[in-house]
Amino acid sequence: MHLSIATAGLTIGFLIGLSGVGGGALMAPLLLLLGIPPATVVGSDLAFGLVTKCAGVGAHVRHRVVRWQWVWLLASGSIPGSLLGSWIVRRAGGSPDVIRLWIGAMLVVAPVAAVLLELARHRWRARIDRLRQPRAWVVALVGAAIGTAVGATSVGSGSLIDIALMFCSPLTGVEIVGTGIAHAILLSGVAALAHWHLGAIDVPLVLNLLAGSIPGVLAGSQLAHYSHPRPLRWGIAALVLASGLGIISTTTHP
C-alpha cells in the first residue's frame, strides 16, 4: 500500500462524509498534485467515484427518494456524452497538458455551479419553479453536455447534475440528492468502462484510494452530526476553485 495515496483517499473520504460534497472535484486536483499522469487521474477517479457512489446509493433507494424516470431521462443524453468525452481524451492522444487544462476548467465550473445551486435554493426558488417544465429533449441535451465533460475530466457528475435537476425538475432537495447519486453510478460506470478500454485506470491506485476513503467516509459521517456543513462546503468550493485556477495557470504558463 502506498501511504501517500491511502492518505489522499482518507482525506477525501473524510471530507465527503463530513460535508456531503462529491469526490470528483476534490480527488482530481489531489491526484495531480501527487504526480499522477492526467489521463490516469481521469480514469482512476471515475472508477473510484463509481465504487463510492455504489456504497452510498442503497440508503436513498431504501427511502424511495430516487426518481428513476429522471435518472433514465438524464442518462439518455449523459451516457452517449460520456462516451464522447472518453473519445475526446483518446483523440487528444493522452496529452498531459491538454487533459490538465480540461480538468482545471471543470474545477472552476464545478464550484461555481455549486454556489449557484445554493443561491438558487434560497433566493431564486420562485423563478426556478417557472423553469421546471422543460421538454424531454432539453433535459437529455443538458445530460449530454454534462456527460461529455465528465467523460473527459471525471469532474461534475455530482455538482453539475444536481444543478441540472434543480433547474429542470420538480424534485425536492432529498430527491435531487438520491436521483443524482443513482444517475452518477450509470454515468461513472459507463465512463469508467470506456477509460478501462483506453488503459487509463490504475487498479492498484484505485484500491489504495479506497483503502483510505472507506474509513474516512465513516469517520466523517460520524462527526457530521456535530459540525456545520454549510461553511465547510463554501470552504471546499473555494479550495476547488483555487485548485482549478492554479492548474490552468501552471498549464498555460509553465
Query: SS3 for the chain, per residue?
Result: CCHHHHHHHHHHHHHHHHHCCCCHHHHHHHHHHCCCCHHHHHHHHHHHHHHHHHHHHHHHHHCCCCCHHHHHHHHHHHHHHHHHHHHHHHHCCCCHHHHHHHHHHHHHHHHHHHHHHHHHHHHCHHHHHCCCCCCHHHHHHHHHHHHHHHHHHCCCCCHHHHHHHHHHCCCCHHHHHHHHHHHHHHHHHHHHHHHHHCCCCCHHHHHHHHHHHHHHHHHHHHHHCCCCHHHHHHHHHHHHHHHHHHHHHHHHCC
Contacts of 117 (CB under 8 A, 6+ apart): 159, 162, 163, 166
- Predicted pLDDT at 139: 86
Give every residue of the chain whose pLDDT is below 50, as ranges.
none
- Predicted pLDDT at 226: 66
- Predicted pLDDT at 77: 95
- Predicted pLDDT at 253: 64
- Predicted pLDDT at 131: 55
- Predicted pLDDT at 12: 82
Cα(92)–Cα(99) distance, integer angstroms = 8
- Predicted pLDDT at 68: 93
Q: Between 159-168 and 136-153, two packed helices, what is the crossing angle to 10 degrees? A: 170
How large is the C-alpha radius of gyration of the chain? Answer: 17
Cα(183)–Cα(74) distance, integer angstroms = 8
